[in-house]
Amino acid sequence: MSKAKSLFVRTTVALSTAAIATLALAGLAGPAQAESPVLGTVALAPTGGSVHDNPFVTAATTSAACPTGFGENAALKVGPPGGPYSPLARIGGLANYDQAPFTLAANRSLATALGAAPADGTYEVAVSCSGTTGTAPKDFSTLITVTGDSWAVKNAAATTTRLTAKPGLFAFEGQRVTLTATVRHNAAGSVEFFAGSTSVGTAPVTDGRAVLTSTTLPTGLLQLKATFTPDDPRLFVASTSQICYLVIG
Q: pLDDT tens digits for the chain (249 residues)?
A: 443 333 333 333 333 333 333 333 333 333 444 578 899 999 999 999 999 999 999 999 999 999 999 999 999 999 999 999 999 998 877 789 999 999 999 999 999 999 988 999 999 999 999 998 899 999 999 999 999 999 999 999 999 999 999 999 999 999 999 999 999 987 999 999 999 999 999 999 999 999 999 999 999 999 999 999 999 999 999 999 999 999 999
Query: What is the number of residues in the chain?
Result: 249
Residue pair 88/105 in contact by the 8 Å Cβ criterion: no
Phi, psi values for residue 90, rounded to 5°: -65, 150
Give the global pTM.
0.74
pLDDT reported for residue 9 = 31
Residue pair 41/141 in contact by the 8 Å Cβ criterion: yes
Q: Where in the chain is the domain with CATH 2.60.40.10?
A: 3-30+157-248
Q: How far apart are alpha carbons 38 and 203 in whole angstroms?
A: 20
pLDDT reported for residue 6 = 38
The CATH number of 3-30+157-248, from 3.40.50.920, 3.30.1330.40, 2.60.40.10, 2.60.200.20, is 2.60.40.10
Cβ-count burial 125-135 (b if 16+ within 10 Å, e if not): bbbbbbbeeee
Q: What is 42-153's CATH number? A: 2.60.40
Q: How far apart are alpha carbons 101 and 97 in whole angstroms?
A: 7
Q: How far apart are alpha carbons 129 and 120 in whole angstroms?
A: 28
pLDDT reported for residue 34 = 58
pLDDT reported for residue 10 = 38
Q: How far apart are alpha carbons 122 and 118 in whole angstroms?
A: 10
Residue pair 225/193 in contact by the 8 Å Cβ criterion: yes
pLDDT reported for residue 161 = 97
Stated as kind and residue range, the H or E segment containing 213 is strand 209-214
- 164-170 contacts: CB < 8 A, separation 24 or more? 164/243, 165/224, 165/243, 165/245, 169/245, 169/246, 170/245, 170/246, 170/247, 170/248
Residue pair 69/97 in contact by the 8 Å Cβ criterion: no
pLDDT reported for residue 186 = 79
